[in-house]
Amino acid sequence: MLWIVAATTLAASFISGLSGFGFGLIAMALLPLLIGIRMANAFVSFCSLTIFATLTIPLRAHIAWKALLPMLAGTAVGVPIGVYALVNLPEGLLLKILAGFILSYVCFALFVQNRAHFHMDRRWGYLVGLASGLISGALSSGGPPVIMYCDSLELGKKGFKATLQMYFVLMVLYKIPIFYIAGLLTGELWRNLLYYSPFVAAGTVGGVLLFHRLSELWFRRIVLLLLTAVAVLLIAKS
């Protein structure tokens, strides 16, 4: 099991380094099956903090704060509710919700994302932040709502990545004290972070270095296929 967790962490970090997002979605597709959904949520949150803080530094001048602030306001409300659900709802139900969310994202990516372009007013940022906070607090996979929102604002490549990554950094920093209050910061979590941190670093560096060498189309198809298969496994396990 240790090597499966290591491989999952490595793959999710690689995807995140390559695209600027996706660590939580990929990692939370498999890790709950291996270490439990509560441990997986906390583990993924801390790994994401390290990855996105590193990726944000060179792009910090491109952060669109006017787009970011409404999302953070909504997230401040959503995260505590999501963490409460994580701690109190049955794990089987959480796994089903996670599987449904992953399948919904796959369907959106396959049938909508490349066929229509949405333009969302910045005021939608509050609702988007609320949705992302709820999903992140409960399932640590709150990227898709803010990804769609930032993409619709046409911030440019650097602005898109910088704003998205800063959002994730600030959101995870906000989650940490809530996790502490909920009793999710355990000795086992710190041991897992220490053991698997080299795989996070290696995957992130590899993704950044290989960004220009991979076919984005085929890469995206493979990722979506794997997510679909894992969602089916989550439903079966739950």
- For 144-163, write each residue's pLDDT tens digit: 788 778 877 878 778 888 89
The average pLDDT across 223-236 equals: 67
AA identity, residue 186: T
| pLDDT number for residue 72 | 95
- For 11-27, write each residue's pLDDT tens digit: 889 888 776 677 887 88
The average pLDDT across 115-123 equals: 65
| pLDDT number for residue 222 | 61
Q: Which two tokens stand for residue 225?
A: 């296929």
- For 20-71, write each residue's pLDDT tens digit: 677 887 888 889 889 998 999 999 999 999 888 888 888 889 999 998 999 9
Q: How confident is the model at residue 212 (pLDDT cuts 50, 70, 90)?
A: low
Percent of the chain with pLDDT over 90: 37
The average pLDDT across 175-190 equals: 94
| pLDDT number for residue 40 | 93
| pLDDT number for residue 96 | 82
Q: How confident is the model at residue 224 (pLDDT cuts 50, 70, 90)?
A: low
| pLDDT number for residue 151 | 72
| pLDDT number for residue 166 | 93
Q: How confident is the model at residue 209 (pLDDT cuts 50, 70, 90)?
A: confident
* Sign of the C-alpha dihedral computed for residues 34, 81, 235 and 226 taken in this order: negative
pLDDT at 218 over 80: no
The mean predicted confidence, pLDDT, of the chain is 83
The average pLDDT across 90-99 equals: 82
The average pLDDT across 207-226 equals: 66
